[in-house]
Amino acid sequence: MSPSFARARRKEMLLAYALLLPSLVFLAIFTYWPILRSVWFSLHDVLLGDPDIYWLGAENYLRLLDDRLFWKVLGNTAFYTLTTIPLSIAVALLLAVALDSKLRGMAIYRSAFFYPVMIPSVAAGMVWVFLYAPGYGPINEALTTLGLPRLDWLYDSQWALPAIVIMSIWKYSGYFMLILLAALKLVPSDLYEAARLDGVSGWHRLLHITIPLVSPTLYFVIIIGTLHSYQIFDYVYVMTQGGPADSTNVLTFYIYQNGFQYQDIGYASALANALLVFVLGLIGLVALTLGRKVHYLGER
């Protein structure tokens, strides 16, 4: 390697690090430092606004294991995740396939299905509070018209969490649809033409052509959907406040309750660290299972 080439190489590396530095500083200050601080707080007795901090060791984590409400909240979060992600992605994929057309006017339908994504979460939550209203809500009016019994959606512990799941599917399917639409544009059209000539049905084309060829994008959507599902807070805060009887209480809202309502920062930090571990574990499980089934174009 010549000296001039080595100098040019060093200059490129320095330029690369200089360009990365602002992002690295941002990550260090707003991501990695809060995580380390949360781990430190979880090992202490810390009350909001109290300057005195007392060492507890693993006591907050032992308390977490004995906390029945924590396990209920964890179950609620798992139910929300395991229902919202598959259903949202299934709806998004069907919408993407249906709207992947060059017909005139399709842009209007795409915009209509994407529109809920642009609505602020608090506003969307308030709209669905009205839709679910027991006495005058349009959903209950529709059920009455169909001869079905009315439901106390957000006031019934059996239906409150499914009601939030339905609203979340409506809110985020459009976002996943847009990503999948972009992936569908990369699928060679001659594959569909050959399948049609061979008499392959639309359902089998979806299963054996579309899904395998967009599997990298599906994998990406599953990952970001999983990350988002564990961050649910605003809908619970606006629509139910965790009720009734903690049936919609999820990990992020339980962290908020302990940290800011009960002012127990130490226990809230332990809960936040538990949330981080569960998310990493779930992402790892997805990577080990679905990640191996991803088909990339050009692979044999």
Residues 236 and 242 sit within 8 Å (Cβ to Cβ):
yes
Q: What is the number of helices (H) and of strands (E) in the chain? A: 15, 2
**Reported confidence tier of residue 2, pLDDT bands at 50, 70, 90:** low
Which residues, in sequence order, are CB contacts of 36 under 8 Å at separation 6+? Answer: none
Give the HSE-up count for residue 162: Cα atoms under 13 Å, Cβ half-sphere. 7
Angle CA(189)–CA(197)–CA(179) in degrees, nearest 5? 25
Q: Hey, is 188 helix, strand or coil?
A: coil
The CA-atom distances, in angstroms, between 278 and each of 99, 100, 253 are 36, 36, 16
Helix axes 265-289, 215-229, angle to 10 degrees: 170
Q: Which residue has the tokens 């569960």?
A: 278
- Rama region for 263: left / alpha / beta (φ>0; ψ in -120 to 50; rest): left
What are the pLDDT digits (tens) for 83-103?
A: 999 999 999 999 998 888 776
Write down all domains in the chain, each with its CATH number in brackets: 69-293 (1.10.3720.10)
Tokens, residue 172: 């985020």
pLDDT in tens, 16-50: 888 999 999 999 999 899 999 999 999 999 887 77
DSSP state, residue 244: S
pLDDT tens string 136-188 = 889 999 999 999 999 999 999 999 999 999 999 999 999 999 999 988 888 88
Q: Is this model's pTM higher than 0.85 or not?
A: yes
